[in-house]
Amino acid sequence: MAFARNMYTIDSSSGFVYLFLIYLQGFSPKKMVNPWKTYVKLSAVLMGSHGLTKGSLAFLNYPAQLMFKSTKVLPVMVMGAFIPGLRRKYPPHEYVSAILLVLGLVLFSLADAQTSPSFSVIGVIMVIGALVMDSFLGNLQEAIFNMNPETTQMEMLFCSTVVGLPLLIPPMVLTGEVFEAWNSCSEHLYVYGVLVFEAMATFIGQVSVLSLIAIFGAATTAMVTTARKAVTLLLSYMIFTKPLTQQHGTGLILIAMGITLKLLPVDVKPVYKRVSSASGSSSNGGHEIEEEENPMV
């Protein structure tokens, strides 16, 4: 429980570092292209996702939470069909690819878990709520980028942080976490350096994720971040020479199948339109022609 509470302090301290780094990048509120109200809903969803994710660890052990969070890409794809400004529809092979990727990651991650997944009704409700928030979050970010292409990653991160920080402070004060964290950091000054370094690293990650959403969309970004978890786990086994079991191998095969299916080109039938004889007569002697129209992929 204490660990879950302290994570709110880490998030808030990271927010102040984000604002400083954004200032060094030369961004200011004068450069905003969207109104502040655009980011109120986004920040509420962001803070809700963080809060439910961290809070669920008080009721679920890590393997159980990992099983749920690894499925993030699926609700993101489903919710994309209902977000105004997106209305995305994915072909069946992309859903199959996402399912294979999720199953592979779950199998690989839990292959050497020290404990079995432990479930609690409250914890399950919280982590499902976090997944719902995540499904809204990525799609809302993509919708903002789509509706106003001039939106920058710095603006979105700045506004989300400024609006979200006040939502974190009241819970920390009411639970007494902020005072506990202050006393702990005062006794161990090196913690300040660790927090700053971690915030700088996550800042790069946040900007990278927002760039992926702006270019490729929320669903593809969710698949990339899910695959990143698998690569991180695989590298840890290679670096620390951990033994790989049959379950690890099965998970890797499913992950590879999911990624391959996502990357495979899909044949799209060309769409033809008939050009009227009136327009074609001037250049083709009155003969009708067929013109290929490149479909949107």
Q: What is the pLDDT of residues 68-106, one digit of tens each?
A: 877 888 888 888 888 876 777 888 888 888 888 888 888
Q: Can you tell me the mean pLDDT for 274-293?
A: 43
Helix residue ranges per DSSP H, the chain: 2-24, 37-56, 62-69, 73-79, 92-110, 121-147, 153-175, 177-187, 190-216, 218-239, 246-263, 277-284
- pLDDT at residue 270 in the model: 42
Average pLDDT, the chain: 78
* Mean pLDDT, rounded, for 191-198: 86
| pLDDT top residue among 109 and 126 | 126
| Residue 289, pLDDT above cutoff 50 | no
Cα separation of 199 and 14, whole Å?
5
Whether the pLDDT of residue 283 is over 50: the answer is no
* Strongest mean pLDDT among 159-173, 201-215, 220-234, 261-275: 201-215
| pLDDT exceeds cutoff 90 at 249 | no
**Dihedral, CA atoms, 208, 213, 214, 220, nearest 10 degrees?**
120
DSSP codes, 222-238: HHHHHHHHHHHHHHHHH
Residue whose token pair is 């959403």: 213
Q: Which residues pair with 292 in a beta bridge?
A: 272
Gap between the Cα atoms of 196 and 56, Å rounded: 25
- The model's pLDDT over 97-118, given as tens digits with 9 standing for 90+, comes to 888 888 888 887 777 665 556 6
Residue 281: phi and psi, rounded to 5, are -65, -30
Note whether 248 and 108 are within 8 A (CB): yes
pLDDT digits (tens, 9 = 90+) for 39-51: 988 888 888 888 8
pLDDT value at position 251? 83
Q: Are 141 and 210 in contact (CB under 8 A)?
A: yes
Q: Measured between alpha carbons, how far is 134 from 114 in angstroms, rounded to an integer? A: 28
In the predicted model, what is the mean pLDDT of residues 206-233?
86
Model confidence band, residue 271 (pLDDT cutoffs 50, 70, 90): very low
Whole-Å CA distances, 279 to 44, 82, 273, 274, 282: 54, 40, 13, 11, 6
Confidence of residue 66 (pLDDT cuts 50, 70, 90): confident
Pick the residue with more confidence: 269 or 158?
Answer: 158
Task: Annotate 34-59 with b (16+ C-beta within 10 A) or e (fewer).
Answer: eeeebbeebbebbbbbbbbbbbbbeb
Angle between helix 121-147 and helix 190-216 axes, rounded to 10 deg: 60
pLDDT of residue 266: 59
